[in-house]
Amino acid sequence: MTKQRLHPIMFAGTGSDVGKSVIATGFCRIFKQDGYTPAPFKAQNMALNSYATPEGLEIGRAQAVQAEAAGIPCHTDMNPLLLKPSSDHTSQVVLNGKPAGNRNAYDYFRKEGREELRRAVHDAFDRLEKRYNPVVMEGAGSISEINLRESDLVNLPMAIHAGADVILVADIDRGGVFAAVYGSIMLLNDEERRHIKGILINKFRGDIRLFEPGVKMLEELCKAPVVGVVPYYRDIYIEEEDSVALRTKQTQAEYGKINIAVILLRHLSNFTDFNTLERDPRVHLFYTNNTEEIMKADIVLLPGSKSTLSDLYELRRNGAAQAIVRAHREGATVMGICGGYQLMGQEVCDPDRMEGEIERLPGLGLLPVTTRIQGEKITRRVKFRFHGSEDSCEGYEIHTGVTTPVEEGKESPLTFISGESRTDGYFKDHTCMGTYIHGILDNPSFIGYLLKPFANKPEKMMFDYKTFKEEQYDKLAGHIRNHVDLPLIYNILSGHD
């Protein structure tokens, strides 16, 4: 039976980090559970945490997560415009999954040339809406950045194009929720304000009954219903969009488990590479660039980086580079992924200054390879097997640069790409290796291989991350269902508000 056509729904925010992405993820799962065919959409995303679509194109990781919650493959139409910061003022612009150059913030937000980008994001949405019902849209930052109104591609102007019903999400945990909601709505123009169909209060702590008078006050002030008050939770794990979340994971080594230190880079990207290990009961994983904590690790992981040379310079300056080399010399396993793999070589060269002003730096010297930053960005999904194993694994590549053995050095690949003659990475020995493949640590067989030398520490326990994620999406959907007026939301989306 064909489900009724629903309006698109946009979760916009009173500010950044109010929980829009997670709420949108929850509703993608709710609509799927209720028999609809939802798809996520965010016109413009700014994040270093990206993902490769099945077609080998690049989108923000948040929309890939939301697509997973909706039970569909991710696609560039779900996030047609991705900004990947490379400095405080400059970002790489990824349009429809492909790099379209670097832009500084001032030039990017100028009105000149914005219509081309606006057409691109509108076209992506229009294609998506023809295939899915409903489209679950996500805004960015605050909806009331009035100084950027004419150049805004992602909030109310996008909602107006889509004919979307907008739910304004506010974070009560940070305080000032009344001013945030009322001020955000009052700063909109009349046309924008007509699209605000509801208010959702997020991250509530305490007895919700005490906030009931506040709900009525907000509704009277804003002339819009409060569709839900969603409590703060601690027992549901959804992949985070921003590396801000890593601040809560900078704990110390723990006795009795396999201690894994992920080096905390300034331009760290794709930190979700480590989510499976983080949930593994055999493992205690923490993020650090503290030299003493690095020395306590059994395994040191070097993550991806948007600015490899800049991060290499910083690792040498703060002593972390020397600590990593010493930790390996004293028995720790060191593994690099993508930019981390580049860091482990003899040197990193950027003769065309694609990343910045630094043209060359010596690497950590742990692997007999050298990297040259050049050429087009590679984005692709891959199936592979790894050194010493015939198990089939999956992952994806997102990188710029070519890494090769040093002169007279022999190839010693870590992985072998299925269906191709191509290999990847470098395997020096079981304690020292690198790869360009993100997601390699989502494969249980590779995790078992990585942890095997330390298997005598804790009891052996396997962890199924895919099943775990599905359980978390269902828990999130249940949590939201329990605290929003879902019949009211369906009524709004059916055009009967």
Catalogue the active-site residues: 338, 438
Provide the greatest CA pair distance for the chain.
76
Say how many C-beta atoms besides its own lie within 10 A of residue 178's C-beta: 15
Residue 440 near residue 449 (C-beta atoms within 8 A) = no
308-318 and 320-329 helices, crossing angle to 10°: 80
Sheet holding 44-46, edge to edge: 44-46, 81-85, 90-95, 98-104
Burial class, 250, CB count within 10 angstroms (exposed 0-12 / middle 13-18 / buried 19+): middle
Say how many C-beta atoms besides its own lie within 10 A of residue 174's C-beta: 13
Q: What is the 3-state secondary structure (H, E, C) of the chain?
A: CCCCCCCCEEEEECCCCCCHHHHHHHHHHHHHHCCCECEEECCEEECCCEEECCCCCEEEHHHHHHHHHHCCCCCHHHCCEEEEECCCCEEEEEECCEEEEEEEHHHHHCCCCHHHHHHHHHHHHHHHHHHCECEEEECCCCCCCHHHHHHCCCCHHHHHHHCCEEEEEEEHHHCCHHHHHHHHHHCCCHHHHHCEEEEEEEEECCCHHHHHHHHHHHHHHHCCCEEEEEECCCCCCCCCCCHHHHHHHCCCCCCCCEEEEEECCCCEECHHHHHHHHHCCCEEEEEECCHHHHHCCCEEEECEECCHHHHHHHHHHHCHHHHHHHHHHCCCEEEEECHHHHHCCCEEECCCCCCCCCCEEECCCCCCEEEECCCCCEEEEEEEEECCCCCCEEEEEEECCEEEECCCCCCCCCEEECCCCCEECEEEECCEEEECCECHHHCHHHHHHHHHHHCCCCCCCCCCHHHHHHHHHHHHHHHHHCCECHHHHHHHHCCCC
Alpha-carbon span 493 to 497, nearest angstrom: 8
Say how many C-beta atoms besides its own lie within 10 A of residue 248's C-beta: 9
